[in-house]
Chain A
Amino acid sequence: MADISGQAGVSAPKVRIGQRGRLADFTRRLFREKPLGAFGAVMCLVFLVTGLFADFIAPFGYNEMNPIDRLKPPSVEYFLGTDQIGRDVFSRIVHGARTSLIIGFSAAFFSIIISCVIGITTGYFRGKFDMLVQRMVDAWMSFPDLVVVIVAVSVFGPGMWQVILVLSLLYGIAGSRIVRSAVLTVKENDYVHAAESVGVSTIRILLRHILPNIMAPIIVLFTTRLAAVILVEAGLSFLGLGVPPPAPSWGGMLSFEGRSYMFQAPWLAIMPGLAITFVVYNINMFGDALRDLLDPRMRGSGLKQKLDV
């Protein structure tokens, strides 16, 4: 549909799709063509809102103990039950969403920045610089991730920002390959040559021509990174390398109370596990839909211009 109205806009100016219409247009396509992706998008939004407004949504504080109500199964009062010291599991999951949200978005964001800096410079300049940096990237990627994380945590101590730093570096450096390969194809376009031959400065070429034209893979990379980081953070917290207790974290909840009371109070393991699975699954679904909608040359018009702001 977007195609047709966009084409018509050329000959009949009255049908012009306004700038404001592009995002709406994309949303419409998302819901029509990718219902599962749209569901994922809505769930991501729910996750976002939960994390942002955890204080208002959670009926109890994340560390608020009611010793009388220990290991209570899900009920009206305790939506998802309570743990061994009487903390409300629902409240802890809601607050855990905030932890996942902060770590997920920060690490995904910084890793994309790192990927872009490395990928765009090496891809655009090529030559010896590219050679050297890419061999360093190879060397970095040949370290097992977990070893890097354990070393970093033992040096800097456990904590949210340490996890963000390490995950940003890990994923940022590995992701530079994807950005670089996108740059390699974009920079061979005549419009880049045209800018070069006119004498446009290199920094302007990188920011005005290269970056906007690799936005589609970057957005998709961001969603995959977001899901991966949330999963890895849960894993690290499970191993005791992530966010230290009593701060709520889904991985930590699985590990500390979940593992110890798995048989007496299965909801302690099931609920945070479900939360992780659900969020990661939905982010992936949304990411897949984004990739499908963004990749095949946008089918004429679309939200291209809207997204690169």
Chain B
Amino acid sequence: MRSSLPRWAVAIAIVAVALFVIPLVGLIATTPWAEFGSMLASDLVLDALALSAVASVSAVLISAVLGIPLAWLLARAEFRGKALVRGLVLLPLVVPPIVGGAALLFALGRAGIIGGPLYEATGIVLPFSIWGVIIAATFVSMPFLVITVEAALRNIDRRYEGAAASLGATKSEVFRRVTLPMIRPSLVAGLVLTWARAVGEFGATIAFAGNLQGETQTLPLAVFVALETDRDAAVAISLVMVGLALAVLVGLRDRWLAR
């Protein structure tokens, strides 16, 4: 197809694509393929991989449990301060993650306004533990689920819910049997986005949970450490993460990349 755009726009677009492609090429070019396997089997990588898997899946589950009802409320309920609540939900998308992590530490740390009483009462310490990793990941990733699901709830034809109610379904049954299945494509997309964001989380984690191998050191943190000590390992882990991201994009391609 002949392009109808001016040449300068095409040139700029090529530069923009190069910006995405060049780092990937650099990563692949520097990958020590010979030692790739053994590098991935190292304790550093396996510990980080396991922790990232547990923390990201936990973050997705918590986001679903807390975020779907919140999205429902934002999409359907009318209440004072709704704009403020929506703004607060979106805040983690805008605030630098490390600032979010610091804020979590001040609130939930052993001396924090909630963390203090919690420690006094139960002896539980949230920061610098796997709980901290999960909370940090949930904090930064849940907004993706809330905004995706809220948009989907606004877009479905609400008359179906009315039809379900007239067939005897209570509000909760309508939500479970009609609303959720009808927004399923968006819900899946939202969950995948949430998971991808949770896997990539760095700033809030390092501020709130620290960087202890086998305890709070997730894959991005492992890359950060390895860049200082063992560049080949850093490259190998990075490639694994790029592979994961690509797999997610391919999985969602019908939904997003079709147009």
Q: Do A and B bind each other?
A: no
State the B residues within 8 Å of A (CB): none
Query: Interface of A with B (CB < 8 Å)?
Result: none
